[in-house]
Amino acid sequence: MRERLSLWAVFCLIVAFLPSQTESIAVMSVDLGSEWMKIALVKPGVPMEIVLNKESRRKTPVAVCLKENERLFGDSALGVAVKNPMVVYRFLQSILGKTADNPQVAQYQKHFPEHQLLRDEKRGTVFFKFSEELQYTPEELLGMILNYSRGLAQDFAEQPIKDAVITVPAYFNQAERRAVLQAANIAGLKVLQLINDNTAVALNYGVFRRKDINSTAQNILFYDMGSGSTTATIVTYQTVKTKESGTHPQLQIRGVGFDRTLGGFEMELRLRDHLAKLFNEQKKSKKDVRENLRAMAKLLKEAQRLKTVLSANAEHMAQIEGLMDDIDFKAKVTRSEFEALCEDLFDRVPGPVKEALAAAEMSMDEIEQVILVGGSTRVPKVQDVLLKAVGKEELSKNINADEAAAMGAVYQAAALSKAFKVKPFLVRDAAVFPIQVEFSRETEEEDGIKTMKHNKRILFQRMAPYPQRKVITFNRYMDDFVFYINYGDLSFLGEQDLKVFGSQNLTMVKLSGVGSSFKKHSDAESKGIKAHFNMDESGVLILDRVESVFETIVEEKEEESTLTKLGNTISSLFGGGSSEPNANVTEPVTDEEEMIPEAGKEQDQSEKQEESAQEKPEAEEGKEGEPQAEEQKDNKEDEAETQGETDAEKPEEKSDAEKVEETEADKKSKPQKKSKISEDITVELEVNDVLDPSTEDMEVSKKKLQDLTDRDLEKQEREKTLNSLEAFIFETQDKMYQDEYLAVVTEEEKEQITGKLSEASNWMDEEGYTAGTKELKEKLSELKKLCKAMFFRVEERKKWPDRLAALDSMLNHSTIFLKSVRLIPEGDQIFTEVELKMLERVINETMTWKNETVAEQEKLSPTEKPVLLSKDIEAKHSFLDREVNYLLNKAKFAKPKPKDKAKDKNTTSTENSNANSTANSTEDAEKVIPPKSDDAEEVKPAEEPPTAEEKEETILELNPAENTDTESTESSKSENHIGDEL
């Protein structure tokens, strides 16, 4: 026990000296909208907070300006957009993960004709041609913006940040989600999760209303109209029980409807075109304002302001100074005119709500309230149309329409980070687009004719919850084959949405090594080719692995020795107490069970019924039809076999004849133990929607952005040095006219310094503004070195009065203290003679040093190097103060000397009479001072020392008690197994 305690002591000591982990454990979220982004942060001591940008604003434009020698972001980039729109890139979200022939690319080109968009022949996507030498992909430009967002968060947090949760629209498909991940990778961000923005809003709403959530399901519809798109989401809140951590609140996405192009930006474009028409009608210029890119950029900026003002006012005057050819523009616009311009847009407002209800298979009566999210829901007409469509008494506005997604995402970031503890809030997101597996196989008809049959198996239904793992088994292939992963039935999308959606084919999967696995295990029974799929927390589908699975019969001994049984018992204890039979040593994969999670039971049962109905004749051929049931049956056989072994161990009293008969029967009927064998199959993926950039392309992109970042940092460093040099020249020239500086320099020094400053000032005007950072630093260093002695003398003279006054005060107090102490009678004296003489010596030495040094300094000229230094005065003051404090501390803790023993004895004998003995003893007992609480704690048994993990974790103040496991962990532990009836 002593050895164990000493080991713990060493461990705690090591942990104490480890570098602090709180320096870089902050996490961030980026609510990445089409026009604006909001950044939130969690760090130790700061639960959840919106990050302010350099202009101290809570939201930042998603814009980057690429000039020849610098980059600008956010509001600075928008400022340039009015003067030179060609170098400012905005609204990149709409062309992420899109091929060059996508309608949204053409729409983007229409909205921003100043940009040159070209086709990337390698990937089929688009890129911006900035110059002959420089081209940038949308992912690279978004990477720059994400890197800028991280910089803002790091400045706000005052520590480095790598981990982030980024929001994306719920309607983003696989290619679009991968594009965002690629942009984050280029920016050097570690994405903990891509969270759907509607899910982040729902999480934010639920976290702050945790107490209102109970076992009764509450259905809430969030209507989010942003700048670029609109999404309606139906969310169910209720508390659920989990095996791991008890009862917790949960949100489940039940239905999602969306309109990709319905948003505030389209309204602003209508207003812009209306203002351009009004200007042309005024005929102040012969030119068409619509052909002037700069003028149109100014009109768009005014239209954005106008839309906001008209939300609160019935009419407003639009005005722009020098719109074109120095002609001012002024025109009145009314709210009714604005509503007439956007009438067709307002007609589309109810559409997403209807889609969400259809996806959730619910009616409006089941929805308790409708909550508005997004800046564009502030337009009065949007609210009027929506209120009429949903048939409610009112629309709720009880969350922050701009910041809810960022705050929900940062809560998720804290939950996913290992550095924080948050109260669990389970999230069940839903896949908006179904995904299926397709394959073809040769079948033989009754007349002997062979035909190719195309099969489809649903992998994830529409609105299927994720994260989730699934397994699909191919039972009839014995050689290498190919299958396809595609989107399922997208008939719920309109014609235009389907065009914008892009390719409905995801990936072609080529398998090799299937035939060789069958040859290798020719004596084993095949259990099929199993493909393991995972839709992760970000909604990205991944094919984890493909394996060829076989079963063999294993001969086992009749009885196990006592030692073996004991070993198996211990193994099961350390292995978590699993009742499952141990996997055979030839089984390389034991981390996944092919089971149906509760969430997917209904879907899978319906799938099985459909498959049985479609291919009943083929199901009779053996391994067709119900592979799920087959797997479950195998598991049951294993369980039955284990149970049989257990029963066999229980002795029963039977006759010898009965025993012989039972033994023979057992040999015949007892199922033989089976062992599972897996062989990994080589997988080759061929992407069919949008090709991902190659590793080499990603490295080129990273280097391109790093070079730009280095250039920006170099520019910032140069500007900082240039400003420092300018400031030093002007301030020092001004000081050369001040009395306190003139008093400490000779005429020669003055002329030298003044001459150098004038020379440097002239150099700045002629060459300084084009000089490099190194040259500027050298010039500044030279001037500082020249003026160093002058500044030193001035600073010393400024410090003398205060420092000398403090030393005089210390000497006075020390002298008075020493005199007082020497008056104490010898019998009560607590200080030794040596201590008193030491203090006296220090006082005398300090007094002598001060008088001599001050006298010597007074003999010197102010232009000479001083001998009286402020640091020496401070050192003398500190030394004397230390000596006095030593004696004061000794006096504070000193105990009074005991009185004369004889006198004490007489007093005691007089007081201790027989009559008062009891009272005195009681009084003495009352005078006993109880031990302090600290002492009481010392006698308690030693508590178990905290673990290293507990020390490193910082508790998020919002939820100080518990740690969150998002549902991703629970879901990922199980897989759905889908049969293919092969």
**Architecture of the structural domain at 264-347:** Alpha-Beta Complex (3.90)
Q: Which residues contact 42 (CB under 8 A, 6 or more apart)?
A: 26, 27, 28, 48, 49, 410, 411, 413, 414, 417, 420, 956
pLDDT grade, residue 285 (50/70/90)?
Answer: confident
Spatial distance between the Cα atoms of 811 and 816, rounded to a whole number of angstroms: 9
- Lay out the sheet containing 975-979: strands in order across: 673-680, 541-554, 525-535, 468-474, 975-979
What's the mean pLDDT in 522-532? Answer: 91
Give strand ranges (E) for 246-351. Answer: 246-259, 315-324, 327-334
Q: Taking the alpha carbons of 191, 194, 197, 198 in that order, is the dihedral positive or negative? A: negative
Mean pLDDT of 941-962: 40
Looking at domain 27-262+348-430, which CATH architecture does it have? 2-Layer Sandwich (3.30)
64 has pLDDT over 70: yes
Q: What is the pLDDT of residue 964?
A: 39
Q: Is the peptide bond before 467 cis (omega within 30 degrees of 0)?
A: yes
Summarize pLDDT for 497-526 with one digit per residue, the tens: 999 999 999 999 999 999 999 999 888 889
Q: Give the span between the Cα atoms of 294 and 595, in whole angstroms.
A: 61
Q: Which pair of structure tokens corresponds to residue 820? A: 């007082």
Report the distance separating Cα 151 and Cα 143, nearest Å. Answer: 12
Percent pLDDT > 70 in the chain is 76
pLDDT band at 564 (very low <50, low <70, confident <90, very high): low
Higher pLDDT, 635 or 178: 178
Please state the rounded mean pLDDT for residues 140-151.
95
Tell me, what DSSP letter sits at residue 119? E
Residue 437 has which token pair?
């597996």
pLDDT of residue 940: 38
Contact by Cβ (8 Å): 112, 90? yes
pLDDT of residue 245: 76
Give the helix/strand (H/E) hosting 373: strand 369-373
- Which residues, 6+ apart, have CB-to-CB distance to 1 below 8 Å? none
- Minimum mean pLDDT range among 177-191, 327-341, 612-626, 846-860: 612-626
**Both structure tokens of 585:** 């040593």
What integer best gives the mean pLDDT of the chain? 80
CA geometry: angle 814, 820, 823, nearest 5 deg: 145
Token pair belonging to 898: 């005991």
pLDDT score at 243: 81
Residue 737's closest CA among 727, 745, 728? 745
Contact criterion met (CB below 8 Å) for 63 and 78: yes
What pLDDT band is residue 69 in, cutting at 50, 70 and 90? Answer: confident
Q: Measuring CA to CA, how many Å separate 172 from each of 178, 196, 432?
A: 10, 9, 9
Instruction: Kindly state the average pLDDT of the residues 40-66.
Output: 91
pLDDT at 603: 41
From residue 636, how far is each of 175, 530, 580, 830 by CA, in Å? 41, 20, 11, 88
Distances (CA, A) of 951 to 433, 685, 955, 964: 43, 44, 10, 18
Q: Radius of gyration over alpha carbons of the chain, in Å? A: 40
Q: CB 123: neighbour CB atoms within 10 A?
A: 18
Residue range 846-859: mean pLDDT, rounded: 93
Residue-level pLDDT at 671: 60
pLDDT at 963 over 50: no
Q: At 568, is the pLDDT very low, low, confident or very high (cuts 50, 70, 90)?
A: low
Write the pLDDT tens digit of every residue in 911-931: 444 434 444 444 443 343 344
CB–CB of 304/276 below 8 Å? Answer: no
User: What element of type H or E holds 426?
Assistant: strand 426-431
pLDDT at 764: 87
Mean pLDDT of 234-254: 91
Query: Is residue 627 scored above 50 in pLDDT?
Result: no
**What stretches of 596-745 adopt beta strand conformation (E)?**
673-680, 682-687
Average pLDDT of 933-953? Answer: 40
Q: How is residue 634 written in tokens? A: 């195998």
Question: Residue 675: its pLDDT value, please?
Answer: 86
3-class DSSP state of 58: coil
Instruction: Please indicate whether residue 676 or residue 914 has the higher confidence score (pLDDT).
Output: 676
820-847 average pLDDT score: 89
Sheet holding 230-242, edge to edge: 369-373, 218-225, 230-242, 246-259, 426-431, 464-466
Task: Show me where the domains of the chain are located.
Answer: 27-262+348-430, 264-347, 433-553
Count of helix runs (H) and strand runs (E) in the chain: 31, 32
Measuring CA to CA, how many Å separate 548 from each of 416, 592, 694? 34, 15, 30
Q: What is the pLDDT of residues 70-105, one digit of tens each?
A: 899 999 999 898 888 999 999 999 999 999 999 999
Residue 726 near residue 780, CB atoms below 8 Å: no
Per mean pLDDT, which range of 134-148, 384-398, 464-478, 568-582 is the poorest? 568-582
Q: How far apart are CA 850 and CA 542, in angstroms?
A: 80
Nearest to 546 by CA among 532, 566, 563: 532
pLDDT for 384 beyond 80 = yes
Q: Dihedral sign for Cα 782, 785, 790, 794, please.
A: positive
- How distant, in Å, are the alpha carbons of 324, 761, 804, 860, 883 from that of 872? 70, 38, 11, 18, 17
Q: What is the pTM of this model?
A: 0.72
State phi, psi for 413 to the nearest 5 degrees: -65, -40
Instruction: Retrieve residue 337's tokens.
Output: 């005119």
β partners of residue 224 = 231, 373
Q: Per mean pLDDT, which range of 68-82, 133-147, 444-458, 461-475 is the poorest?
A: 444-458
Predicted confidence at residue 826, as pLDDT, reads 82
The verdict on domain 433-553 having CATH code 2.60.34 is yes
Average of per-residue pLDDT across 472-491: 92
pLDDT higher at 263 or 660: 263
Give me the pLDDT at residue 557, please.
52
Of residues 664 and 34, the one with the higher pLDDT is 34
What pLDDT is stored for residue 444 in this prediction? 73
Question: For residue 908, what pLDDT is reported?
Answer: 45
667 CB burial (10 A radius; 0-12, 13-18, 19+): exposed
Question: What pLDDT score does 63 carry?
Answer: 94
Share of residues in the chain with pLDDT > 90 (%): 54
Nearest-angstrom CA–CA distance, 972 and 536 = 8
233: pLDDT confidence band, cut at 50, 70 and 90?
very high
How far is residue 242's CA from residue 240's CA, in Å, rounded to a whole number? 7
- Tokens 């209102």 locate to 212
Quote the pLDDT of residue 554: 73
As a dihedral over the C-alpha atoms of residue 731, residue 737, residue 741, residue 743, rounded to 10 degrees, the angle is 170
DSSP state of 385: H
640-666 tens-digit pLDDT: 233 333 333 333 444 454 544 555 555
pLDDT for 955 equals: 35
Q: Is the pLDDT of residue 687 over 60?
A: yes
Helix 773-822 / helix 747-766 crossing angle, nearest 10 deg: 140
Structure tokens at 391: 């048939």
Is the pLDDT assigned to residue 339 strictly greater than 50? yes
Residue 411 to residue 405: CA distance in whole angstroms: 10
Q: pLDDT tens digit string along 719-778?
A: 899 999 999 999 999 998 999 898 889 989 889 999 999 999 999 888 877 888 899 999
Q: Could you give the CA distance from residue 674 to residue 553 in angstroms, rounded to a whole number?
A: 5
